[in-house]
């Protein structure tokens, strides 16, 4: 019996996680609809504007605020990996009563264009931590929004990043 079978509220997250821990969205209304469904199912949603990040320092500060990282957070991807592991273990940044955790990053293409290595590294850490969360019965989902309907990124956590089902075909994104 799957976790979604035991708790039907987890089915929304399981659908997204079935292809990748990181899912692309182009149209903001499609993303907002997915976030609404997740919230209605009890997920804790952290929305951040990645398009505003012009440096690693800005990215880390925003992530630390959004995920309630401790003051000793090291502001690098290794520290992000460590703290995200604590978050998925519900030490902080993830309410006990939440169905799962969703990290929604809007304007991700702008961030990825300016800092491609850091952007990919961030998604890679999230993907690996998401897989670890699943192994302990938790769900960590990352949704990234791109203004560019042709945006793509290299596989993360050894899995590809794919478009959501409502925008899978190029024509559905207006591209």
pLDDT along the chain (175 residues), means of 10: 63 90 97 97 97 98 98 97 96 94 98 98 97 94 97 87 88 81
Q: Residue 1's pLDDT is what?
A: 42
Q: Residue 6's pLDDT is what?
A: 66
Q: Residue 173's pLDDT is what?
A: 87
Rounded distance, CA 110 to CA 131, Å? 26
Write down the pTM of the prediction.
Answer: 0.89
Enter the tokens of residue 8.
């039907």
Residue 141 neighbours by CB under 8 Å, 6+ apart? 13, 16, 17, 21, 23, 38, 43, 100, 101, 102, 103, 130
């Amino acid at each position: 019996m799957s976790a979604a079978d035991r708790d039907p509220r987890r089915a929304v997250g399981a659908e997204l996680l079935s292809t990748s821990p990181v899912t692309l969205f182009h149209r903001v209304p499609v993303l907002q609809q997915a976030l609404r469904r997740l919230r209605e199912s009890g997920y804790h949603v952290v929305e951040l504007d990645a398009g505003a990040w012009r440096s690693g320092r800005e990215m880390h500060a925003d992530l630390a605020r959004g995920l309630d990282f401790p003051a000793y957070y090291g502001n690098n991807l290794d520290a992000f990996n460590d703290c995200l592991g604590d978050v998925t273990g519900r030490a902080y940044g993830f309410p006990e009563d939440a169905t799962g955790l969703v990290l929604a990053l809007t304007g991700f293409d702008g961030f990825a264009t300016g800092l491609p290595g850091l952007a990919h590294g961030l998604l890679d850490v999230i993907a690996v931590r998401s897989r670890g969360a699943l192994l302990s019965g938790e769900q960590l989902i990352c949704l990234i929004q791109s203004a560019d309907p042709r945006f793509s990124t290299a596989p993360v956590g050894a899995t590809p990043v794919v478009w959501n089902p409502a925008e899978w075909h190029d024509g559905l994104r207006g591209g």
